[in-house]
Structure 1
Amino acid sequence: MRIRPAALIIENNHVLFLRYDYPGGSKFALPGGNVDAGETFPVTIARECEEELGIEVEVHDLLFTGQVHATDDFSACVHVVFEGDIVGGIPQLHPGETTADDLVWVPVDKISELHIYPAMNDAILDFVHTGKKGQYVGTLKQIWL
């Protein structure tokens, strides 16, 4: 089972996402990635944000965690999402470090319309509207495009 820590970065009522384009449409992921040996989740998030987006991120509280079950094509994954703030740099996609096609700032009121990897739309909106932190949200649906 993989573990993917990521940061929910909100600025001016917009959420930072990486966009991946596929023949069936786009899907969106929060910045983060795979844990290297010996790394804590906050260190992984900070490293991935620096490598892929050229930004320094301060990682705060755990917001929520959920899991995606394995399929014939994909291994199971636990997604661990922390609150994050950009403390240095301006986000710019570094194509040599990621397979993402673009980075986008999505207005909070458009989150429910996105195909997010995994489908954590409700958990993101729950945090935005209630400030709840540290939730286990259970099984996350994954819509593969």
Structure 2
Amino acid sequence: MYPIRVRACALVVEHDSVLLVKFEDEHGVHYNLPAGGVEKGESVKEAVAREAFEEAGIEVEVEGLAFVYEYAPHLVQDMYGSTPSLHMIFHCRRNQATEPILPPNPDPHQVAVEWVPLHQLHQILLFPHISTHIFENVQNQTKIQYIEEHQLKVKM
């Protein structure tokens, strides 16, 4: 069996800015989309909503799949560790009643939640390095078909 971690990621864009989680550690400052692993008993879309709330303090409506990113360690000399992962990045719309905030118990290196203008994405260190993909996806309003079994009509 090929073990692969599935990560659920929220792409929240408002007023030509993307919501990112800011981290600072011994290597400096970097950013990530609000994201994390899918837990037992939840769908990928449920995980996206949970991660957006846990990491950025916002409630979101998860919309279409923007794109998928795969990390295959053996192809990049374990650049980010040895665990393969598949990142499913979904367009999300923020519930306007919720404001992005640093969570009460953030990751030890998480220092902020910030709106970063799309035209400045190339000026920050974003992991993974998908700034160009985010920019192009938002500009082209691209969505990938995402099919969920529970929404299919079953013929008897």
User: Aligned residue for 2:132?
Assistant: 122
Q: Which moved more, 1:12-21 or 1:22-31?
A: 22-31
2: CA distance between counterparts of 1:114 and 1:52? 19
Question: For 2:105, what is the secondary structure of its paired residue?
Answer: helix
From 14, 28, 50, the equivalent of 1:47 is 50
1:25 Cα deviation after fit: 2.1
Identity within the alignment, %: 30
Question: For 2:13, what is the secondary structure of its paired residue?
Answer: strand
1:95 Cα deviation after fit: 4.3
Say what the alpha-carbon RMSD is for the aligned residues.
1.7
- Taking structure 1 as the reference length, the TM-score comes to 0.85
- Taking structure 2 as the reference length, the TM-score comes to 0.79
User: Aligned residue for 1:79?
Assistant: 87
Rg comparison, structure with higher value: 2
1: CA distance between counterparts of 2:28 and 2:117? 19
1:119 Cα deviation after fit: 0.9
1: CA distance between counterparts of 2:87 and 2:63? 16
2: CA distance between counterparts of 1:74 and 1:113? 28
User: Aligned residue for 1:56?
Assistant: 59
From 95, 103, 112, the equivalent of 1:94 is 103
C-alpha distance after superposition, 1:59-81 (max 9, x if no partner): 00000001112217341111110
Partners of 1:4 and 1:77 within 8 A in 2? yes
